[in-house]
Structure 1
């Protein structure tokens, strides 16, 4: 997800289709007269006095000429970053993926957790109108429209929007279809932005975010300027220009050349090349991406939990992180969400044990096992990790055939087909991971984990008001997955961004897609 710049757009900034060399020239031609600077991103908690003013240019991979500023249509990082600049959600996720109030000042459930009252803070849209309960209901009904294809639609499914209502201008009553203790996660869902109740066109969007619209050229640039009336305080910067640069080499060249001051999404190898040399600041956002393999539990050989347990023990996780991610991450323990709210950090760290793996395979009658591992260059480290695991498995007497597929159709290809495949996931609450991927009716149940008693535990958790009791239920579910689940989670990759040395205020602890990721309203130029 990315952003553009007016100067670059005016001069024909065509990085999305240019080669690295041509892209660098396009950057130079487009912004040669602008000397905007940036600050030290490693100082997430800087205590110095932020400076006001200046233009920050931020380079992101883009989505092409079909890009839109409709926040409900967001699907890429650039979409999310643009939407964050222009709009607000009722809530967003903190660094531990717990929901944090935004336009919602507070939320209160009834005793049965199937009705929630949301009180809005005082905030205004860019045209001066107040944000009201009717705007919230309009936005959610628009997202949930059966004719639409907005990504947040699935997240809003628990809400009975026909029965939900505005109690007054600043209070929304959401009626739910069932008890849902983690309902605030819905308020923070990706793409669940609030727009004015009469919004039908987004050519010149009006939101309530920290920046206001100035200009937009799809596939090239978005320019936004400071909203002095923003409810949380005006941004430090005068302006942000989101520049589209699909090739990593173009983003890095522009950053090194001073044409942009922020570059999103660098590979570990690129970061290693430039880190510590003084020309740019490399920021690693921890825990941003889960890395692993899926074992489909509904078919041989992985319908036998002993085979799954053996594969857990075959993995040398440090070797996988070092080899596939160039060390830019930390090892996993076969559970999603390391460091997030409800993560069971007390479980012992699993390590490679080839003797035990062989014994389990023998018990399962799976000696001399042969499996196909589907992978593709669909994400950083996928193909490399598959090759490394193949060598590790051979030491346990398992033959792994690595099958490299088409990166453009990979996720569709492995959704139902195959038995063993490379997998990754961005950040989301652990509850969302469970509900979307591990229940019998989950729409993206990649491991085909279907266990009624597990489903029942989840429903029990959603009917439990006490957070400690609910956390204990989540731990029971995760212990079950740790023992016999279908996700072999070997690592958590850092998301890597880089800035010019003069940029300050970038939060180095916020995973991608959380509240403090891409917070350009908190950045300043020294």
Structure 2
């Protein structure tokens, strides 16, 4: 699988020729997205903005997640699971090539997971895959994976962006020039402006309808609105809810309102005083008026949550009354914690409308109990570095859109800074349980612990509110996993 520059050039030329020949009427779509990805390798970064561009478009996994959250065949056409649940044998699709024209086979699968599990791995969610004890190449189209314990959601985890298959020759450069096996190939990235993808002609699966897709980075709601109305972009997957009224009765557009896995939280640095004090966190929880935040920040589209779980999930339990809005209770708890006059803190806000609007409302609510909040607006790359990576923050607001990401609370090094051995043991038990009734009971117990510990301020579940040209079809209304999947998008007459 020698990848030379000559081979790459030939593959790109072949891609363009076949893409043009495969579609009698080549078409393109221009999509506005709020955040620019910090890089384009989903196996080496946690930002949802990466998956929005590349997931199921440039890169694919052994399986893929569909719009309903189901697991479907991907680069693996089928699989078998041993009776003890510890051995998975995958049969791979035949005739698959990477975008540089080289062949995909079992060696690439082994390389991908060896890389994820390596000591120097930078995979954002290596913990999903640490149960893997071995990846064995049986033959070029067969791979066997062995686990050290049963993992109830193993196949779903294989469908995440963190587990897409990469090749050893191109993996190190995927952050800036991604090469995958998906229906779209990377063309160029104009930093601060756009990423351009083109249909990959030799794609192994069903041909796509679009010849080209351009992602334009537009963080400002007014600018996004004007771009839509002027026809400079054809749609956006998650438009600011405060401006939806402009499009709701306009026949030139369709508004798609669906669900996401985005639990919007007031993230708290639990390792940093005074937030390491349970009574302080409880006081903050009592100070929050969720409905006022939802009305002001999402214009009523959000759904209140009391723990980090999506209300549409079968495991969800309503814990919103754990610490009901109560200003006097909040003041009393602060006094008990040694802060009768409150305290000062900073709230770092990424460039997302819901985050910055929520921040303003929460600062006002906290002021009523004596907590003085300084709002600090940061760009996305700075948020990733300061807050997520370096944990240099007091409070922040962000939607966590990864499905079933309650396990992050079992990682004391995660940026929440929450370290509870009992909770960690509970999540370990949950991860090793396959019986659905038992899994649900454990998930409810886990949610209840986090709610009572007031680890974060649980605000609302983010709705997906897409605005699209009325002639476009095939967009996902719901978002059960991070990504903006292009494969079914098409223009109609």
TM-score, with length taken from structure 2: 0.77
Query: Which residue of the partner structure matches residue 453 of structure 1?
Result: 422
Inter-partner Cα distance in structure 2 for 1:112 and 1:180: 11
Aligned-residue offset at 1:421: 0.9
Question: Where does residue 222 of structure 1 map in the other structure?
Answer: 196
* TM-score normalised per structure 1: 0.73
Work out which of the residue numbers 382, 404, 422 in structure 1 matches 2:396: 422
Q: Distance in 1 between matches of 2:398 and 2:36?
A: 24
Distance 1:475 1:353 in 2: 25
Tell me the equivalent position of 1:401. 372
Query: Where does 1:56-455 land on structure 2 (aligned, <5 Å)?
Result: 56-61=28-33, 72=43, 75=47, 77=49, 80-94=52-66, 97=69, 99-110=71-82, 113-121=85-93, 124-125=96-97, 131-144=104-117, 149-151=122-124, 153=126, 155-160=128-133, 163-176=134-147, 179-195=150-166, 199=170, 207-211=180-184, 213=185, 215-216=187-188, 218-219=190-191, 220-225=194-199, 227=201, 230-231=204-205, 233-235=206-208, 237-246=209-218, 248=220, 251-298=224-271, 300-345=273-318, 351-358=324-331, 360-361=333-334, 367-395=340-368, 398-405=369-376, 407-408=378-379, 409-410=382-383, 412-414=385-387, 420-430=394-404, 433-436=405-408, 438-439=409-410, 441-446=411-416, 448-455=417-424
- How far, CA to CA, are the matches of 1:129 and 1:426 in structure 2? 36
Distance 2:349 2:295 in 1: 19
* Equivalent-residue separation in structure 2 for 1:422 and 1:513 (angstroms): 21
The offset of 1:284, in angstroms, is: 3.6
Does the aligned pair in 2 maintain the 1:373–1:386 contact within 8 Å? Answer: no
Are 2:490 and 1:518 aligned?
no
Question: For the residues of structure 1 that align with 2:179 and 2:363, how far apart are their CA atoms?
Answer: 52
- 2:472 equivalent to 1:498: no
What's 1:470 paired with?
A: 439
Contact 1:295 1:486 (8 Å CA) reproduced: yes
Structure 1: how far apart are the matches of 2:315 and 2:434?
A: 15
- Aligned to 2:259, the other structure's residue is in SS state strand
1:82 to partner: Cα distance:
3.7
Give the Å deviation of 1:435.
2.6
Alpha carbons of structure 1 residues 466 and 171: separation in structure 2 relative to 1, 3 Å: farther
Displacement of 1:187:
0.9
User: Which structure is higher in RCO with an 8 Å CA cutoff and minimum separation 6?
Assistant: 1
Cα distance in 2 for partners of 1:78, 1:461 equals 29
User: Does the residue aligned with 1:294 lie in a helix, a strand or coil?
Assistant: strand
Give unpaired runs (5+ residues) of structure 2.
Answer: 1-22
1:336-361 per-residue CA deviation (whole Å, 9 max, x = no partner) reads: 33323532258768642345445555
**2:456 aligned residue (487, 502, 523):** 487
| 8 Å contact kept, 1:290–1:425 | yes
Shift in alpha-carbon separation, 1:455–1:382, aligned structure 2, 3 A: same
User: In 2, Cα distance between the equivalents of 1:59 and 1:281?
Assistant: 14
Q: String of CA shifts for 1:302-346, please: whole Å, max 9, x gaps.
A: 444344333323221110011123334222223333323532258
User: Residues 184 and 483 from structure 1, CA distance in 2 versus in 1: closer, same or farther, beyond 3 angstroms?
Assistant: same
Cα-to-partner distance string for 1:108-148 (whole Å, 9 max, x where unaligned) = 55566554333435563368987532231123334555566
After superposing the two structures, state which structure 1 stretch, 326-335 or 96-105, moved more: 96-105
In structure 2, the CA distance between the partners of 1:63 and 1:466, relative to structure 1 (3 Å rule), is: closer
Moved more, 309-318 or 73-82: 73-82
State the Cα deviation string for residues 179-200 of structure 1 (Å, max 9, x = none). 5333224312224222456556
Unaligned runs of 5+ in 1: 1-50
Cα distance change on mapping 1:115 and 1:435 into 2, 3 Å:
farther
Residues 398-447 of structure 1: CA deviation (Å, up to 9, x unaligned): 212112235144455456768851231332122xx2332x12x443141x
| Matched-pair contact (CA < 8 Å) for 1:215–1:222 | yes
Range 109-118 or range 456-465, more displaced: 109-118
Which residue of structure 1 lines up, in the alignment, with residue 7 of structure 2? none
